[in-house]
Amino acid sequence: MASTSTAREGRRRDWWPAGPAVAIVAGIAILALPADLEGPALLPISPGHAVSLVDAMGVLPLVAGSMWLHGGLWRRRERLAQWARQRTGAAAGLTFAAGLGLGLLLASAFSALYWWWAVGAALFVIANVAAVVVAVLGRAKAD
């Protein structure tokens, strides 16, 4: 019975980080659909911003993929912590970039500076990709 459980966990781990990446890309693809396909606004957020049915459908895989991705990073936090201890400057810079990027993403929904979301998204993606690379390379060195 233990070998079956271990085999299942191995298969589940094999999906990380590709599975979350596919879910995130699917969510972004749905959110990037033309405005003509979005339909009526379901929930107004601010002037010029509202949640439509298509937005709600795009947010589901985006949030699920993000939770899966960050859950995988959390499970590999010891590898990330070890890397951060060895490269404190890089770790501080990536943490700052992730926080600034997420802040810009959130603020852009309530700001007249609409295109700041792209800067925020780029910073957040770079920080997350770097964390995934560290987690994956740490696993390869540990194996």
Judge contact between 120 and 105, C-beta under 8 A: yes
Place of tokens 């929930």: 43
Question: Which pLDDT value is given to residue 12?
Answer: 54
pLDDT by residue (tens digit) across 10-45? 555 579 999 999 999 999 999 888 878 887 888 888
pLDDT at 112 over 70: no
Non-local (6+) Cβ contacts of 70 within 8 A are none
User: Residue 63 and residue 45: Cα distance in Å, rounded?
Assistant: 18
- If you average pLDDT over residues 75-90, what whole number do you get? 95
Q: How confident is the model at residue 87 (pLDDT cuts 50, 70, 90)?
A: very high
The answer, yes or no, to whether residue 143 has pLDDT greater than 60, is no
Q: What confidence score (pLDDT) does residue 44 get?
A: 85
Say if residue 109's pLDDT is above 80.
no
